[in-house]
Structure 1
């Protein structure tokens, strides 16, 4: 096989194996995850939960072969986010406790109202608050003189991954850490069509200012009822104004809002006249509800 690789100029892989183990504690007790790298197949994404506030433990063993270019940094790996980076070296045990950041009163930086509905209520995992780590492994791929494949640099009290990355990526995946979540909702969410009026002022002379009023047709959102969310130990309530603000900023990518808008368009096709100031679609969420109970992930959610 080695003679065949040499004849075809295919460099031998420097990675022999990658073994990943993770542990955390959920509402039912300790949970263990084990994953292994297979050549030509990257490691799967890893989902962890910091449900107790003590974090999740990640252990990685990178086993390398003799590097084909005698690079002491080959193979290697790195675990990183925007504010954290730590290198993984072949033959050196890697162990890290991952903690979800402490949440202050500004909970909106972790989740907005639209994501709250889609993630907590409807069970869309990608909409939940989480810290997403990148996990990458690289080798020289037969290229000499590369030096460090991944370079971690200090950045104040934190560490960061250098933008310069060398070699061939043999595995790239995500380690996603969720916090402890408690939520409760009993609310009605409605889309309406209405007119938004804006006043524009223009100075015509030194003493005269002309006002121009412009009316624009817009889809509006309204929230009636109670919603509450606790991330870790920090409670939060979504108000009507928050829902309206988040709708403007975050509704374009929302599958739920897109569906409600399609229903709204269907409703409008059966209406007549110029009266556009009326509610055309409404949805309600009540907890507990059998439909949502089946969507809850017991390792993630605990009903308030």
Structure 2
């Protein structure tokens, strides 16, 4: 297990380094941040002083070398926009995104597993058809369209919910609901398909012949053996929520890491953009590692 963890850590480190190099040089192509942080009538001397202060006058390769040297000392730079450590800004925003993702994935996982398992127990029944229909619709609907439609209906027309912010539970309903729909549809389909295969196996038929209750067959005998592919999809969808919350957070004005990334790109706050990439990549690495550990817990053969 230690060897496996070491290999995963090395592979993730190499991927992260490549991502940092790519984002560093691509972000510099967006333009000179001096035009955004200084008045239009600023003098040439003031502009040169600003560039010199932040190292923008140096060649890109020199800027990159300086950034890597700072990273080696766990110095992630200062935010141009907020004039404080970039990692501090990112961690503050990441907390909001993590809460949003945790709430959404908890509701999604429980709902999809229960509904998908019940749908698989009576294949072709009314409940199965309804669950399949709504899951396919949900998996196909784009997040940005759902977010806009939700605001128009529930905030603008009905005045039931606020359009943005995080002040109360009502502010969380629309972002969570929009993020819920796509992963719910995908996970439900995987749970249903996996459970159909498991429930048609010989040991389940034997349990039914012995008179074991349906609830025990579904949630005790069947679900555990059907969970391996489900865990993969749950992990992928959790990672997609961390990355895909950019659109939802921007539309709803949610102060998470997605909105922070968009704002930082538009304002050319390069250090914050790079810090966002590093935190997101690290979160995905940890999530994939937890998925692998869950595999080993569910199926002891994987440990060997």
TM-score class normalised by the smaller sequence: under 0.3
More strand by share: 1
Compute the TM-score of the two structures, normalised by the length of structure 1.
0.20
More helix by share: 2
Highest CA radius of gyration, 1 or 2? Answer: 1
Higher relative contact order, structure no. (Cα contacts within 8 Å, ≥ 6 residues apart)? 2
